[in-house]
């Protein structure tokens, strides 16, 4: 299995606020984050709020060289898709990233591998960087199907987008059993999957940023980031607490030094 010293890839921490917040909550959270924001040179940081709050987040983050993005995207060109948001719209709001294939979308909105692949393409066509989420359920892990599941999810995108497309993409390994549960994959479990993911991308894999997501907290972040194939984190709960978010970004900054 390949692994590359982390210094050769940029680290990334992304906060996924999911369906949380009000304008007032967000304003308070953003103020608290920015009041104590450290100088980070090794890490890019982004927040993906609900669509309706993207502009609010963008206004707060843009002076600080922090980024923002969407939590999902409709793969179709603008048109008659009530309630949906296109990649063009996300571009219009200066989003850098968009999450595609989050397990909550795959499970609750019935988004198939094929749909996720189309979202990935639509995002890239508008110059956005897709953050492709993959991960197995606890059942699949118990049955020894974790790597096969993730391999299938990656292949669905690789087949339509091609290897080179991953030079402008991020992959997030998010075991479903760890997302929002308080249970984190051990650094060894996560590292094994990250190395497997990197191996699926031949040479492109060496520069591919691969995040871990699933109950990352300030207490476990450093151990995870110490693994050579773990380039950062996709955070749910911890991105809603200013001090936890900052502490995890700082762990990513210090990792591998
Ligand atoms: C997520 O929603 O992508 C996530 C990783 O959530 P949490 O950090 O709360 O497990």
Q: What is the pLDDT of residues 54-111, one digit of tens each?
A: 999 999 999 999 999 999 999 999 999 999 999 999 999 999 999 999 999 999 999 9
Residue 134: inside a domain: yes
Dihedral (Cα; 195, 198, 203, 207), 10-degree rounding: -100
Residue 36: inside a domain: yes
Determine the structural domain holding residue 115 and report its residue range. Answer: 6-254
Determine the pLDDT at residue 3. 53
Specify whether the CB–CB gap between 87 and 128 falls below 8 A. Answer: yes
Say how many domains are in the chain.
1
pTM of the predicted structure, to 2 decimals: 0.96
- Residues contacting ligand 1 via CB (< 6 Å): 16, 18, 174, 179-180, 213-216, 234-238
Residue 142: inside a domain: yes
| CATH at residue 236 | 3.20.20.70
3-class DSSP string for 177-225: HHCCCCCCCCHHHHHHHHHHHHHCCHHHHHHCEEEEECCCCHHHHHHHH
Determine the pLDDT at residue 162. 97
Determine the pLDDT at residue 200. 97
Residue 40: inside a domain: yes
Q: Which atom of ligand 1 lies at the shortest distance from residue 133's CA? A: 3
Determine the pLDDT at residue 6. 45
Residue 257 has pLDDT above 70, yes or no: no
pLDDT level of residue 194 (50, 70, 90 thresholds): very high
What whole-number distance in Å separates Cα of residue 17 and Cα of residue 104? Answer: 13
Residue 187: inside a domain: yes
Residue minimizing CA distance to atom 8 of ligand 1: 236
Residue 1: inside a domain: no
Give me the sign of the Cα torsion angle 204, 202, 114, 216: negative
Residue 5 has pLDDT above 60, yes or no: no
pLDDT (tens digit per residue) in 232-256: 999 999 999 999 999 999 999 999 6
């Amino acid at each position: 299995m390949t692994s590359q010293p982390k210094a050769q890839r940029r680290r990334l921490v992304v906060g996924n606020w999911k369906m949380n917040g009000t304008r007032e909550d967000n304003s308070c959270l953003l103020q608290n984050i920015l009041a104590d924001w450290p100088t980070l040179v090794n890490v890019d940081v982004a927040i993906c709020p609900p669509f309706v709050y993207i502009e609010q987040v963008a206004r707060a983050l843009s002076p600080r060289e922090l980024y923002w993005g969407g939590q999902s995207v409709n793969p179709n060109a603008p048109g008659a898709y009530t309630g949906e948001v296109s990649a063009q719209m996300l571009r219009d709001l200066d989003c850098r990233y968009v999450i595609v294939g989050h397990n909550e979308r795959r499970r609750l909105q019935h988004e198939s591998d094929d749909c996720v692949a189309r979202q990935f393409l639509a995002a890239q066509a508008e110059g956005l960087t897709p953050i492709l989420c993959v991960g197995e359920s606890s059942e699949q892990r118990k049955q020894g199907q974790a790597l096969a599941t993730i391999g299938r999810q990656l292949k669905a995108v690789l087949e339509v987008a091609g290897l080179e497309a991953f030079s402008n993409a991020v992959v997030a390994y998010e075991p479903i059993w760890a997302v929002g549960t308080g249970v984190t994959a051990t650094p060894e479990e996560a590292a094994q999957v990250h190395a497997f993911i990197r191996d699926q991308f031949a040479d492109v894999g060496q520069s591919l940023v691969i995040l871990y997501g699933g109950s990352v907290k300030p207490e476990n972040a450093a151990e995870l980031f110490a693994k050579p194939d773990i380039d950062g984190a996709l955070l749910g709960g911890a991105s809603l607490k200013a001090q936890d978010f900052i502490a995890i970004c700082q762990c990513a900054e210090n990792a591998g030094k």
